[in-house]
Amino acid sequence: MDLNIKVNDKDHLDIGGADAVDIANEFGTPVYAIDENRIRDNYNRFYNAFSKYYPDFKVFYACKANTNLAVMKILESEGCCVDTVSPGEVYISEKLGFSPDRILFTGNNITNEELKMVHDMGVILNVDSRSALKRLAEVVDPKGLKVSIRVNPMVGAGHHEHTITGGVMSKFGIMDNEATEVYKLAQDLGFDPIGIHSHIGSGILDPEPFKLAIGSTMDIAGKVHDDLGIDFEFVDFGGGIGVPYTPDEKALDIDHFAHENVEFFKGKLKEYNMKNPTMFLEPGRYIVADAVTLLVQVNSVKQSYRKYIGVDAGFNTLLRPCMYGSYHHIVDASKMSAPITQEVDVAGDVCESGDLFARDRPLPDIEEGDILGILNSGAYGFTMASNYNSRPLPAEVLIKDGNPTLVRKAQTFDDLFRNQIIPDYLQ
């Protein structure tokens, strides 16, 4: 199986050389446990695969997947760049030491104030619409300002309908057939449009849609190049590269994937007689998903009409199973080699029937007090957590060479009061 699972000599789940049960005992549950070396390995495997075939290549980590400051610092230290979707993400990135030229902003439906704010922070914008382009020209001086345009390559894919970001049902980007007009508008407004961006969706393990999207984005870029003589400084094909979540899913052969796509890309550059632009990719999930395990504790085992394993976290802590019906592999970190004996539901502590981490999941005999590891929780895990049911957000722990360090304290009940104001007349 291609899941990132290691077991230590106590038959416990190993996370980056640390014992998952010890982490749970020391820091409490629920807790997100982050394996630093795995993040570094994922980044380097990805970067090396593409740069080997196309050296003028940059990775912009899509930090919406995981904005833990330590995670971003790790990637900063590796030389990675960052893709952001809100002024807050730009702010965090700059504070952590990413220089503006290492940051892209790919927001959508943003206000004039936000457009000006991210421009003033010095980052390059992937502009999502004619409206944003015109409004940007109103709030900043467009003369010679480098911008990139997000196009809809009319290819979409993803692990769930909500994560598909290309095609006729997508709100993102400009239409493929209006590209020349919009690039011309950018020029007429005084901008220097030097980039093109597309992103087709998230959680894609099938290589085919990527190839189609590269082809169609390059056909759009080639036409704009022919029509307007624009020499693109960069071409950005977004992120979306999937990772295995179930035991039967196979990881992409990233070297082969890179080779195929780069060759295809080079062919398109030749076809349209384009100079060699820098190639950008924006993986989020690929870098962080399998580097993080959510550790939870079993607090009740209940036989009702079905058997429920009740744990001390819910969709307020990890939303993906409830929001997308996503599968997350679950292991009993306390006894990794115990045989599978039952099919049970793993339920959270949120007061909603949909609060389930798994239905009919084959698991060993599980006792109250056991620590479960919910794997692949690093992407869209903590970043989508909430205070629903007035539950404080959990802690995050970073493991480096077997040593765990607290990198985010769990919230306290007092945090639930923060920023709320009870009017005097209600006191």
Site for ligand PLP, rule CB under 6 A: 62, 64-65, 83, 106, 199, 202-203, 238-241, 282-286, 379
Asked whether 236 and 195 are in contact (CB, 8 A), the reply is yes
Candidates 63, 81, 322, 351; catalytic one: 351
Shortest Å, Cβ 66 to ligand PLP: 9
Shortest Å, Cβ 206 to ligand PLP: 13
Nearer to ligand PLP by Cβ, of 108 and 187: the residue is: 108
| DSSP conformational letter for 338 | P
Nearer to ligand PLP by Cβ, of 12 and 199: the residue is: 199
User: Torsions phi, psi of 29, nearest 5?
Assistant: -125, 155
Distance CA 65, CA 199 (A): 15
Residue in the structure block whose two tokens are 């730009």:
90
Asked whether 36 and 322 are in contact (CB, 8 A), the reply is no
Distance CA 222, CA 151 (A): 13
Nearer to ligand PLP by Cβ, of 27 and 237: the residue is: 237
Nearer to ligand PLP by Cβ, of 216 and 334: the residue is: 216
Asked whether 319 and 373 are in contact (CB, 8 A), the reply is no
Q: What is the DSSP string of 206-242?
A: -HHHHHHHHHHHHHHHHHHHHHH----SEEE----B-
Distance CA 310, CA 295 (A): 13
Nearer to ligand PLP by Cβ, of 76 and 83: the residue is: 83
Nearer to ligand PLP by Cβ, of 142 and 378: the residue is: 378
Shortest Å, Cβ 356 to ligand PLP: 24
Of 127, 102, 96, 101, the C-alpha closest to 114 is: 127
Query: Is 161 exposed, middle or buried (CB count within 10 Å of its CB: 0-12, 13-18, 19+)?
Result: exposed
Asked whether 35 and 45 are in contact (CB, 8 A), the reply is no
Nearer to ligand PLP by Cβ, of 19 and 282: the residue is: 282
Of 148, 124, 144, 129, the C-alpha closest to 217 is: 148
Classified as helix, coil or strand, 144 is: coil
Of 371, 422, 378, the C-alpha closest to 11 is: 371
Shortest Å, Cβ 50 to ligand PLP: 14
Asked whether 387 and 393 are in contact (CB, 8 A), the reply is yes
Tokens of 32: 């997100």
Cis peptide before 100 (omega within 30 of 0): no
Q: Chain centroid to CA 22: how far?
A: 28
Count of Cβ atoms closer than 10 Å to residue 209 Cβ: 19
Shortest Å, Cβ 133 to ligand PLP: 17
Shortest Å, Cβ 383 to ligand PLP: 11
Nearer to ligand PLP by Cβ, of 224 and 281: the residue is: 281
Tokens of 377: 């929780």
Q: Is 351 annotated in the active site?
A: yes
Compute the CA torsion angle 352, 357, 358, 359 (nearest 10 deg): 0
Catalytic positions: 351
